[in-house]
Amino acid sequence: MANAMLQQTVGGTLQLLSNSGTHCNVGNRSVRLLPKGFKLEVEFSKRGIYSSGKRKFNVIQASTSQTSVVGPLLAPSSSDTVDSHMKSNEVALILIRHGESLWNEKNLFTGCVDVPLTNKGVEEAIEAGHRISNIPVDMIYTSSLIRAQMTAMLAMTQHRRKKVPIILHNEDERARAWSKIYSEDTIEQSIPVITSWKLNERMYGELQGLNKQETAGKFGHEKVHEWRRSYDIPPPNGESLEMCAQRAVAYFRDNIEPQLLSGKNILISAHGNSLRSIIMYLDKLTSQEVITLELSTGIPMLYIFKEGKFIRRGSPVAPTEAGVYAYTRRLAQYRQKLDDMLT
């Protein structure tokens, strides 16, 4: 039965033509060091600072009696509560392509123009939230574009744990000071959201804002198809998929993968091309295979990161479907704890 349910949940969301740090202990804390060029400072209090280049993030330590979100790279204290992190040998990675935007609706090239969701896009984001409502999320990464951020925020309104996603503003000292939270209880019921332009949709250059059908009529269907679907040919003054992949995959390796290695469950809300690039890396696809990859808007993809490998699990169907929770024992246990605590 479990296998049958698994087959039902995997199909229909991803089309693919072929299947082709260091640790140290500080007191009783386990710390993972970032790659060269990154710095980690830990304070022995309830709060700490994580610094990556010029960006600093609050590090939030779990109490022994309450569930919590643990900030980047600081290991949680031992706890058997519902949000205690899955062991580092198995964590969840969720990818969501944003819902329909206003320019998707108008059939315009959008690229890096910052356009919000349509009503349909809002509904797609909420449906995505239903699908992941029983999967643990410790940190959220989005692009700098509002449609990806809206999708992540709306999706998390449906999560059964009811933690609040909070965008971290680290542009300067004033931004950090003005957005500081002074309640430990509130911090522990929050999820940090980190935004980066490196997860943006690929920049479509001089095509941005143009109607796709009219552009095909002007330049020819073959030329526009080449710009849209080739791997290494960019549109005029824009990015190719290869160029988009260089920044998106580098960001994933340098910033997100260390969090997975440290035991964090991660949600990424981004765009068709930046997510295709990341999936190319996760599934070890060739440049020819990735151009055949299609991602539906608002449909989450679940990966399990276990023993240094990414295992694609398809898309969760809905909170009432048991199949997705049979993917791993830990996800099933997490859902059971939610049921016990919240029902």
CA–CA distance, 266 with 90 (Å, rounded to integer): 12
State yes or no: 202 annotated in a binding site: yes
CA–CA distance, 69 with 53 (Å, rounded to integer): 23
State yes or no: 179 annotated in a binding site: no
State yes or no: 204 annotated in a binding site: yes
State yes or no: 53 annotated in a binding site: no
Structure tokens at 323: 């199949």
State yes or no: 184 annotated in a binding site: no
Q: At a CB cut-off of 8 Å and minimum separation 6, what does 272 contact?
A: 97, 201, 295
State yes or no: 97 annotated in a binding site: yes
Q: Where in the sequence numbering do the catalytic residues fall?
A: 98, 201
State yes or no: 28 annotated in a binding site: no
CA–CA distance, 307 with 38 (Å, rounded to integer): 24
State yes or no: 251 annotated in a binding site: no
- 212 near 218, Cβ under 8 Å? no
State yes or no: 147 annotated in a binding site: yes
State yes or no: 100 annotated in a binding site: yes
CA 34 to chain centre: 19
State yes or no: 103 annotated in a binding site: yes
State yes or no: 229 annotated in a binding site: yes
State yes or no: 110 annotated in a binding site: yes
**Mind spelling out the 3-state secondary structure of 171-237?**
CCHHHHHHCCCCCHHHHHCEEEEEECHHHCCCCCHHHCCCEHHHHHHHHCHHHHHHHHHCCCCCCCC
- 206 near 238, Cβ under 8 Å? yes
Structure tokens at 338: 């939610």
CA–CA distance, 145 with 204 (Å, rounded to integer): 15
Binding site as annotated, residues for substrate: 97-104, 110-111, 147, 201-204, 212, 228-229, 272-273
Binding site as annotated, residues: 97-104, 110-111, 147, 201-204, 212, 228-229, 272-273
